[in-house]
Amino acid sequence: MCESGSTIAVVGASGFLGGAVCDELERRGHAVRRLAAPRLRVPNAKPPEIEALAREAASALEQQLRGAGVVINAAGISDPYSAWTSELVGANVALPLSLHMAAARAGLRLMVHVSSAAAQGQGVLDETSRVSPFSAYSASKAMAENFLAAADAPSLAVTIVRPTGVHAKERPTTQRLARLAASRFASVAKPEAPSPQALLSNVASAIAFVAEHPSPPTHVAYPNEGLTCALLLEALGGKSPRQIPARPAEWLLRTLALVGARSALLRRLQVLWFGQPTRAAWLLSQGWRPPDRIEAWTALGSSLAKEAVSEPPAIVLGVTESLQVPYLGRTPEAFVEAGWSVHVVSGPGIELERKTTSVATHPVPMVRDPRPMSDAVALLRWCQLLRQVRPAVVLLGTPKAALLGLLAARVVRVPVKIYLVRGLRLESARGAKAALLWLMERLTVLAADDVLAVSRSLLERCGELRLVGRTPARVIGAGSSHGIDLAQFNPAEFAAERRLESRRALGFGADDFVVGFVGRVRRDKGVPELVEAFQMLRVDRPQRLVVLGRLEDTQALDRFSTPENTVILEHVDDVRPIMSTFDVLCLPSHREGFPNVVLEAGALGIPSVVTDVTGMADSVIHGETGYVVPRRDVSAIAAALGSLAAEEERQRMGHNALVRVKQEFDDVVVNAGFVAHVGELMAQGGIGRRT
């Protein structure tokens, strides 16, 4: 057995399952290295591209794994309804392969990969290499298993663990199942059939057991916990489910399949009504038994039933992409502290999965650009979600999530519908596209009961463009979408010694003049102008440029010809050490709503150079906390950066920026404003007013 106290690395430690595995390992006496999963995206899901990306990411992972004996991969996108996206392939296929490469190089003895029983489809779940995927999600899991089986690393053993449906009190899937079990729709077709459902505590125990074993097999199936289809619903719902005839139930499932019902939904109905047998021998043969049995399921159902009696009001917060979930800041937590049941919606991705500490999360695939077919599917998903959650309030931002979510909220008759305008995409569009984007914004505003803007200049611009609703729009406090967490962005944590350490890690010197950019790397973010201005810049010391953000437009950096002066980072888990190396932040965007990154820089005592577009002017006081220059004016950008190369000027403006952020943009104050505003709308008769 693996010795108590040995180091086990867990990738995906902040997730639902990963966190439980870490806790179980520590309870057993192991030193646990909790690692965040890197965000990988595979635009082309072909084996050569997947392998190339995996090799590229393996180097950083190797350093994190050195010194451990075992690594457990508990990361990935776990949405059974997910479409086949670059994020799904990156998280569920490229990451396991990359982790295998890194573990082999780092000299680990064992990699435990947490896959899914969904990889084996509808048949008997066993401990063979057989896979039979039926959806994008299960196909990604099956592909990862095949990659790992073909990987050549004699010194590294690989064990694939396939848990079945994992349940816990805080999981929305479990809450929905408990509501169904307690409703008049609770039904089974084969009451005595085994139900392949599992408690989180038991799955975590099984994974820890596998990691401790000196030579586990290549495949481990999770055994049945003693549940039948009828026992599961009875335990969670407190009553016996109704038995329905098996033959009509089978016909219904076949009919749904013929008319194009989602395969993941059909699988859930199949398992609920007919169960699924499991041939899982290894864990039981080694003496492992689930620590929590049927009594724990009954206790789970009772606990959820008690909470349902006195449920707090629910609020749904939403953005379009998972990458935008950080835009919410600590607003979800502020509503939790105020007594709300908080639900966060975005497209599937790592950032959404990490937001599970105190809120419920719901992946709804959406695309930023207008696409009628996928938008129609997403709208149906929104309607389904809002019917399940039945929120008192929806507070939605970013164009596509707001449009679809607010239309769905009107269909479902949510009492209070709030649109948070974070920016106007139409400002950087022309012709027919600009007209279409204006129409979408207008429709979104009309679908809302209340409109908020993140800055005063954005509010004024909405008025000029006739993007106004039934009631006057407003700004909370001094503006911003969520304010700044001053405990996190604390300049005292990044004093001279740590700042120098971060600079050395990037290959910079202590006296180098460092210009930083943080944001999506696109032409409408002004990246080409930044590159040109940086090349024009002439200061009396080495000059460096840091570009931090997702590369969405490769042409944005085409003119950049001095790579030795530059670091380009698509993703880091923590931006603060990188930002602390900046002397000045430059954000020459063509459009914005209110750039929080400028406030983050200000909180670290860093001045900014921004353009005079909507929203930008609210973030910088010209000549006091930085410079506001004309949009697309390369010479003006270079001149402003040159002025801030002077130490005295930079220190003065950085200090002023820090003072302003503390006085006006503390996220505690900003989020209290949002909570109070929503409370005011509710007090005016929001609850029960379903329009």
CATH number at residue 443: 3.40.50.2000
**Rounded distance between C-alpha atoms, residue 145 and residue 128, angstroms:** 11
In this structure, the answer to whether residues 113 and 148 fall within a common structural domain is yes
More reliable by pLDDT, 615 or 242: 242
Enter the pTM of the model.
Answer: 0.60
Residue 52 tokens, joined: 């190339």
Are residue 534 and residue 648 in the same domain, yes or no?
yes
How many C-beta atoms surround the C-beta of residue 381 within 10 A?
20
- Joined together, the tokens standing for residue 132 give 């039979």
For residue 579, the model assigns a pLDDT of 93
The per-residue DSSP string of 614-647 comes to TTHHHH--BTTTEEEE-TT-HHHHHHHHHHTTSH
Task: Report whether pLDDT(321) > 60.
Answer: yes
Going by C-beta distance under 8 Å and a sequence separation of 6 or more, which residues neighbour residue 562? 535
* Any domain includes 1: no
What is the count of structural domains for the chain? 3
β-pairing, 360-363 with 341-346?
Answer: parallel
Query: Would the pLDDT of 211 be above 90?
Result: yes
What pLDDT score was predicted for residue 689?
37
Q: What is the mean pLDDT of the chain?
A: 89
Cα 67–72–75 angle (5° rounding)?
125
The pair of three-digit structure tokens given for residue 629, joined into one six-digit string: 């220059």
Q: Is residue 500 part of a domain?
A: yes
628 and 501 inside one domain? yes
Looking at the fold, whether 472 and 510 belong to one and the same domain comes out as: no
Helix H or strand E segment including 373: helix 372-389
Distance between CA atoms of 307 and 295, rounded to whole angstroms? Answer: 19
CA 271 vs CA 165, 239, 585: distances in Å: 10, 19, 54
Residue 690 predicted with pLDDT over 90: no
End-to-end Cα distance, the chain: 62
Check whether residue 614 and residue 534 sit in a common domain. yes
Alpha helices, H only, 185-325: 200-212, 229-237, 246-258, 263-274, 282-285, 294-309
Residues 449 and 594 in one domain: no
For 195-209, the pLDDT digits (tens) are 999 999 999 999 999
pLDDT class of 309 with cuts at 50, 70, 90: low
pLDDT at residue 278, as a whole number = 93
The encoded tokens of residue 642 equal: 């040159």
- Among candidate residues 30, 35, 28, 26, the one with its CA nearest the CA of residue 6: 30
- Domain-located, residue 175: no
The answer to whether residues 456 and 499 belong to one domain is: no
Antiparallel, parallel or unpaired: β 543-548 and 566-569: parallel
User: Does 264 reside within a domain?
Assistant: no
Q: What is the pLDDT of residue 490?
A: 87
